[in-house]
Amino acid sequence: MLNRAANALYWMSRYLERAESTARLIEVNLHLSLDLPGEEDTWKAVVETTGDREHFHRNYEVAQRKAVLGFLAFDSGNPNSVLECVKAARENARIVREYLPTEAWECINTLNLQVRQAATSAGALTHLDEMVMGVISAGRQMEGALEAAFSRDEGWYFGQLGRQCERADQTSRLVDVNHRLLENRHEEPSHALRWEAVLKCAGGLQMYRRRHGATEGARVAEFLILDGTFPRSLAFCLREAEESLRAVTGTPPGQFKNNPEKALGKLASELRYTDFDDVLAPGVHRWLDNFQTRLNEVGEEIQRGYFDMPQGGGQAQEAVQQQQ
């Protein structure tokens, strides 16, 4: 497969996953703000979870509800807003339209139009709940269309690799920010409610309750980091990403052929042999900060190893890189 096409499929999946994660974050916190009105730290945590705190505060002094929602949903100057992520996903899908099932292309194209219309409509924030639920629903529809009709070739595995890397990044940020916010607030009445919101953002409340019952912060963190059966846990995502990368290269389990496989394999294998005491020893924030740094390094190795063209390789790849 041409690296230009592989690059577009990888980033299409990452941007779709990022858009859905941000939509979930908005949707859950819209409802949480009804139960916990007037708590500014709710919206501070939302901005920190997306990694956009510095960017946000260049334009806004205080993390108020309206400002945060507009910034995360429709701000064209924020590359991680739902609007811009859907736009970037659609552009990458356009580049590889011939690789995609028709249903998948129609889904992402329709989603792009709907989000653009929502962004320009009068009272956009008033109907924000409808928009974010539409993004979440489209994400499930897109995943189903690809699952049902995309041939299991290199394109499929590059898309899976992008989705799982992005999902691991989003979950790690979600746990990190909220654990720092809540770790010394066990006696507050809102403590369990906030951790339930974290689980909802990851789509894991029901699965957590089935496994553990009552909502406890440490157990929620352990579940989202190490539970190898839950699809948005770090352990699950890294295992799936590693398997996707091996499928591209044909490398047997336990071996590696290049730097991307080495970096991803080391991180995934460490998670397989980690228990929650290993996370608690340095502190949850420090452990997750190290994880995020290494996951970023994995992404850089994937970019260099598979997508970056040698000098003189033409301008086609450059057009894709501008979206990242």
Phi, psi for residue 233 in degrees, rounded to 5: -75, 155
The mean of the pLDDT values for the chain is 91
pLDDT of res. 216: 92
Q: Compare 283 and 314 and report the one with higher pLDDT.
A: 283
* Each residue's pLDDT tens digit, 205-216: 999 999 999 999
* 161 to 127, 197, 207, 302: CA distances (angstroms): 34, 27, 24, 10
Q: Compare 47 and 126 and report the one with higher pLDDT.
A: 47
pLDDT of res. 277: 97
pLDDT at 29 over 50: yes
Q: What percent of the chain has pLDDT over 70?
A: 94
pLDDT at 324 over 80: no
Q: Compare 322 and 43 and report the one with higher pLDDT.
A: 43
pLDDT of res. 1: 60
Helix (H) or strand (E) holding 279: helix 276-280
- DSSP code per residue over 251-265: PPTT--SSHHHHHHH
Domain locations in the chain?
1-150, 152-309
pLDDT at 7 over 60: yes
pLDDT of res. 2: 78
In which band, very low, low, confident or very high, does the pLDDT at 310 lie, cut at 50, 70 and 90? low
Predicted structure pTM score: 0.93
* Each residue's pLDDT tens digit, 87-125: 999 999 999 999 999 999 999 999 999 999 999 998 888
Give the rounded distance of the alpha carbon of 86 from its chain centre: 13
pLDDT of res. 229: 96
Kindly give the interhelix angle for 128-149 and 3-35, rounded to the nearest 10 degrees: 140
Distance of alpha carbon 256 from alpha carbon 124, whole angstroms: 49
Distance of alpha carbon 163 from alpha carbon 159, whole angstroms: 6
Cα–Cα nearest to 18, from 88, 71, 106 = 88
pLDDT of res. 38: 62
- The first and second tokens of residue 157, run together, are 């595995």
pLDDT of res. 187: 80
Output b/e per residue, 120-155; b: 16+ Cβ within 10 A. eeeebeeebeebbebbbebbebbbebbeeebeeebb
8 Å CB contact between 129 and 157: no
* Each residue's pLDDT tens digit, 259-281: 999 999 999 999 999 999 999 99
DSSP-derived 3-state class of residue 32: helix
* 3-state SS record for the chain: CCHHHHHHHHHHHHHHHHHHHHHHHHHHHHHHHHHCCCCHHHHHHHHHHCCCHHHHHCCCCCCCHHHHHHHHHCCCCCCCCHHHHHHHHHHHHHHCHHHCCHHHHHHHHHHHHHHHHHHHCCCHHHHHHHHHHHHHHHHHHHHHHHHHHCCCCHHHHHHHHHHHHHHHHHHHHHHHHHHHHHCCCCCCCCHHHHHHHHHHHCCCHHHHHHHHCCCCHHHHHHHHHHCCCCCCCHHHHHHHHHHHHHHHHCCCCCCCCCHHHHHHHHHHHHHHCCCHHHHHCCCHHHHHHHHHHHHHHHHHHHHHHHHCCCCCCCCHHHHHHCCC
* Each residue's pLDDT tens digit, 51-76: 999 999 998 988 889 999 999 999 99
pLDDT at 314 over 60: no
pLDDT at 226 over 90: yes
Q: What percent of the chain has pLDDT over 90?
A: 81
Q: Compare 184 and 169 and report the one with higher pLDDT.
A: 169
pLDDT at 127 over 90: no
* Each residue's pLDDT tens digit, 129-179: 999 999 999 999 999 999 999 999 999 999 999 999 999 999 999 999 999
pLDDT at 320 over 70: no
In which band, very low, low, confident or very high, does the pLDDT at 316 lie, cut at 50, 70 and 90? very low
